Amino acid sequence: MTGKASNQSLVRKKRDPDLVNAEIAMKRAAQKAREIAKKEGTRIVFIENGRIKEE
């Protein structure tokens, strides 16, 4: 059982480079959406800590 737990922690530490790049791209897209929304006077709706919020 101990070996299985340590294998799971190793799997969590290794990150797929494609997923890392996708996360960076998503953050960049979110920032661009905020900039466009600000120019257009549109609100951004998102979920944070399980609650719906607006900017």
* 44 belongs to a structural domain: yes
Q: Which domain holds residue 48?
A: 15-54
Structural domain tally of the chain?
1
Q: Which helix (H) or strand (E) element contains residue 42?
A: none
The CA radius of gyration of the chain, in Å to the nearest whole number, is: 18
Is 9 among the domain residues? Answer: no
Identify whether 28 is part of a domain: yes
Q: Under 8 Å CB-to-CB from 43, ≥6 apart: which residues?
A: 37, 54, 55
Contact 2, 9 (CB under 8 A): no
Summarised one tens digit per residue, pLDDT across range 41-55 is 999 999 999 999 998
Query: Which tokens in the block code for residue 22?
Result: 């996708």
The tens-digit pLDDT sequence of the chain (55 residues) is 555 555 666 566 677 877 888 989 999 999 999 999 999 999 999 999 999 999 8
The model carries a pTM of 0.59
